Amino acid sequence: MERRNFIKNTAVSGIAIAGLGGAMEATASNSKISNEAKFKLKYAPTLEMFKEHAGADPIDNIKFIADQGFRAVYDLGLINKPAALQEKIANEAHRLGLELGQFSLKIDWSVQTFVLNNADIREMLKKKMQIGVDLQKRTGINTALLVPGLYDLKLSWDYQTANVIENMRMCCDIAGKTGLELVMEPVNTLTNHPGVFLSRMPQAKMICVAVNHPSCKFVDDMYHQQITEGNLIPNIDMSWDYIGAFHIGDNPGRNEPTTGEINYKNIFKHIYDKGYKGILSCEHGKSKPGKEGELAVIKAYREVDSFEV
């Protein structure tokens, strides 16, 4: 794929120009910017976000993402890719100046894991940590995501919380030896994931405080938290020291910003003003199909990134 030519070389150039017209307005003064201009924050599309334009090759997707002005990219499924491909993806991202966002440790969270005091569970977690450390060494990614799994209806909630704390501390002791940061993800129980143990930001912060390890952080997935508790900006402030990453998705629909009820422009300005330098992963779908939908995503991020600094 030739770089920086998707607008003028695609068969749908008319659609592309129309779709990007609004996205090219950088400020209220309507000054124009190119699609190469860098975003203020490190919004990180997935390697599959723009496959209609870039194709199936992850390297071509990385090039396309860089060409649109994004400063980061991520792949939650990176741990399942061959080691050689992991290194190739990392090398290309680094070459183009893109930061790589967190990978998932792929700990099965459709079952009870962290809530249990169980020797087999602990051995499984130790193996997952080592796989994560090996991936960190190959790619330079220093953040790994996990979900603590389901809760146990037969066990007191406080005992489960104590078990999660002990299991997280064990995992952090392993990951911390190489500086790998573990970010727990609270997810909503009302729309997508009934039965999960970790669902709220105050709960996640409490666990981090109790674990008391520099490798223990959590993800603020703003889609999930809008459903679960709302109050997004105050919760960001109250949990700030323990937020290791952000996930983006509007509600309802879990698509790109501007398609739902969340005022992402104000939220991103708040995060920017607080000095956040980390990744904001674009963990959402597209409100429209095909190339038009991909252009709508780029336009949406230009819009919400146009806050004044």
Checking if the pLDDT of 75 tops 80, the result is yes
0.85 surpassed by pTM = yes
**Residue 180 belongs to a domain:** yes
In-domain check, residue 78: yes
Whether 252 is in a domain gets the answer: yes
Q: Name the band, by pLDDT with cuts 50, 70 and 90, for residue 34.
A: low
**Residue 300 sits in a domain of what CATH number?**
3.20.20.150
pLDDT score for 181 = 98
Provide the domain count of the chain.
1
Q: Determine the average pLDDT of the residues in 34-44.
A: 90
Query: Could you say which of 181, 185, 256, 294 is catalytic?
Result: 185
Query: What's the rounded Cα separation, in Å, for the pair 216 and 189?
Result: 23
| Choice among 92, 99, 181, 283 that is catalytic | 283
Confidence check: pLDDT of 280 > 90 = yes
List CB contacts of 57: < 8 A, sequence separation 6 or more: none
The size of the chain, in residues, is 309
- pLDDT tens track for 194-250: 999 999 999 999 999 999 999 999 999 999 999 999 999 999 999 999 999 999 999
- Domain annotation covers residue 309: no
Domain span holding position 125: 6-304
* Residue 218, both tokens: 């959590």
Is position 68 within any domain?
yes
Residue 65 maps to a domain = yes
185 counts as catalytic: yes
Q: How many CB atoms lie within 10 A of CB 201?
A: 26
The pLDDT value recorded for residue 35 is 75
Which two three-digit tokens encode residue 257? 């910003």
Within-domain flag for 119: yes
Is residue 1, in this structure, part of any structural domain at all?
Answer: no
Known catalytic membership, residue 36: no
